[in-house]
Amino acid sequence: MADFLANIANTILSALGLGGEPQSWATRLREEITLKSPKGNTYTARWSGGTRSVSNNVARFKFPEIPGERVQDLRAGADEYDLIVLFEGENNDINASAFVDELKNNKGNWSIEHPVRGPVSLVWLNTTENMQPVESGNLTIVGSTWIEPLPETAAESAAKAQADAERAAMAANIAAAEQFDAIAQQGTPGQIQAIIDTAGKAVSTINKTLALIENASIIDPRITAIGTAIQNTLDGDLIDTSKLSGQFQALTQIYGLGQTSSVDAISMYEDFVSEAVQNVPTQATDDGLAQVATTEMIVSAGLVGATRSALIGGLTSRGQAVTAARDLADLMGDTTQALDDIRTLYVDRAIDKKYFSQSGAYADIQASFRESIRFLLFSLNGLPGERLITLTEDKSTLQIAHDEYGSIGNEDSETYFLDVLLQTNGLMDDDIYWLSRGRQVLVYA
């Protein structure tokens, strides 16, 4: 008897959509679709069907003479919907026409009650209106394609800026390689030797200024392999400039994979670029032009490495994000000025012997910097602010951590906030325990 009553209850609840046995597709899905325009006008029509397309968005980096590709999964792209809706009845032509006109004349997100997906916010892409008054006068079929926009949140905006920055970095690498291939002259043994010497000095600068903090056991073998590839390229009778560009881009930028903080990584590339850009001639000669071209190619690799460093993360405060963004902007400005100064050496030479700094790659490198700075600024929303306080009395570090953070421990550690205080202020020796009145202390909001 109990089982019989339970079955009746489940049947009633299921029919009402309130529980019981799982609903079937027949009770879950609907035959009508409701579309609400950005102006608030609502259209209801029968739904004939449609598709949803989902694709992934990846950044692919292939360096010449380097096996394989670096692939970064940048998250799935926007969903696309194909909807076929049917306007029926006495005024179907008028209703369909009004719907299509509203699509054409009003921009913004439409709120759609999808028969399968439920509530979705979509942006219209295109529409086809099928009108057959002779054979189907009581029916107008409207086909349309839509795309689902990213929510306007800081997290989503940062994700998009990151994807844009990676794509811009790839374009900048390609443009810099093409520029080097176009202007690196090898008409004389002296020009070839200038390229070889400049490349050798650049390798020494890389060894001096770039270093790995993590993943060294994985990255070190690749560094060795790239170095061997560079030497093989330089040993040829005629240097393959396309290969050499890709190899130096790979060698320079692989060090970014071994960093944990954007600020530290950008600073590392600043050191590299500031030293590499000095390897230029003091007089305008044909050999010197090959030297300048090689230097600019190598410097460009460092610039792109700096922009990609902005995406590493490891930032603990808004102040660090602002510092990283400012350092990037300064690096681009300073490097451009240094290259422009070199251009003045060749100002009085024939047009085919002149040097035009960043002539082919400037726009793409600038775009890479712009997108990376955008990413850093979007990241501000998820980072704490900084405050510099001055102690009005002698205090223990335990008391300061408790007063400023509300607790000494959290985040699965009994001394989490105390550790934050000690590390961010670089406290050592007796300062670990006690600070005197008048001492300034950095804390996060």
Find how far residue 33's CA is from the centre of its chain. 36
Q: Are residues 258 and 366 in the same domain?
A: yes
Question: Is 38 within 8 Å of 107 (Cβ atoms)?
Answer: yes
Neighbours of 95 (CB within 10 A): 18
Q: Higher-confidence residue: 118 or 384?
A: 118
31 CB-near residues (< 8 Å, 6+ apart)? 46, 47, 115
pLDDT level of residue 112 (50, 70, 90 thresholds): confident
Print the domain residue range for 14: 1-29
* pLDDT for the residue 57: 62
Outline where 187-317 has alpha helix (H).
189-209, 216-234, 241-253, 262-276, 286-309
pLDDT of residue 274: 94
For Cα atoms 240, 241, 245, give the angle at the middle one, nearest 5 degrees. Answer: 125
Which range, of 164-173, 306-315, 349-358, averages the lowest pLDDT? Answer: 349-358
221 and 203 part of one domain: yes
pLDDT band for position 77 (50/70/90)? low
pLDDT band at 346 (very low <50, low <70, confident <90, very high): low
Q: How many CB atoms lie within 10 A of CB 439?
A: 15
Q: Are residues 178 and 268 in the same domain?
A: yes
Q: What mean pLDDT is predicted for residues 294-301?
A: 93
- The confidence score (pLDDT) of residue 237 equals 82
Same domain, 180 and 298: yes
Structure tokens at 80: 């696309």
The Cα-based distances of 433 to 165, 274, 398, 399 in angstroms read: 44, 41, 7, 10
Q: Do 336 and 359 have their domain in common?
A: yes
pLDDT at 249 over 90: yes
Q: Which of 332, 354, 382 is the last residue of a domain?
A: 382
- Do 84 and 171 belong to one domain? no
d(CA 28, CA 18): 12
Q: Are residues 297 and 415 in the same domain?
A: no
Cα distance between the two ends of the chain: 64
> Are 185 and 128 members of one domain?
no
Question: Does residue 50 contact residue 81 with C-beta atoms inside 8 Å?
Answer: yes
pLDDT of residue 18: 43
At 118 the pLDDT is 77
Q: How many domains does the chain have?
A: 4
pLDDT(305) > 90: yes
- Of 284 and 428, more confident: 428
Q: How far apart are CA 102 and CA 236, in angstroms?
A: 65
pLDDT, mean of residues 264-268 = 94
pLDDT of residue 66: 56
pLDDT tens by residue, 2-39? 444 444 444 433 443 444 444 555 555 577 888 888 88
pLDDT at 427: 84
Mean pLDDT estimate for the chain: 80
Q: Which of the listed residues 147, 169, 188 is the one where a domain comes to its end? A: 147
- Are residues 129 and 252 both part of a single domain? no
Exposure of 64 by Cβ count < 10 A (0-12 exposed, 13-18 middle, 19+ buried)? Answer: middle
Highest mean pLDDT among 67-76, 78-87, 156-165: 78-87
pLDDT at position 20: 45
pLDDT band, residue 192 (cuts 50/70/90): very high
174/228 same-domain check: yes
Neighbours of 409 (CB within 10 A): 15
**Whole-number pLDDT of residue 61:** 57
DSSP string spanning 317-348?
SHHHHHHHHHHHHHHHHHHHHHHHHHHGGGTT
pTM (predicted TM-score): 0.58
Asked whether the predicted pLDDT for residue 337 surpasses 70, the reply is yes
Count of beta carbons in the 10 Å neighbourhood of residue 375: 27
Last residue of a domain, one of 113, 147, 181: 147
Q: How far apart are CA 362 and CA 16, in angstroms?
A: 65
Residues 90 and 165 in one domain: no
How many percent of the chain have pLDDT more than 70?
A: 80
Residue 123 confidence (pLDDT): 86
Verify that 40 and 25 share a domain, yes or no: no
d(CA 381, CA 168): 23
SS3 state of residue 240: coil
Identify whether the C-beta of residue 335 lies closer than 8 Å to the C-beta of residue 277. Answer: yes
Reduced to 3 states (helix: H, G, I; strand: E, B; else coil), residue 21 is: coil
CATH number at residue 118: 2.40.30.200
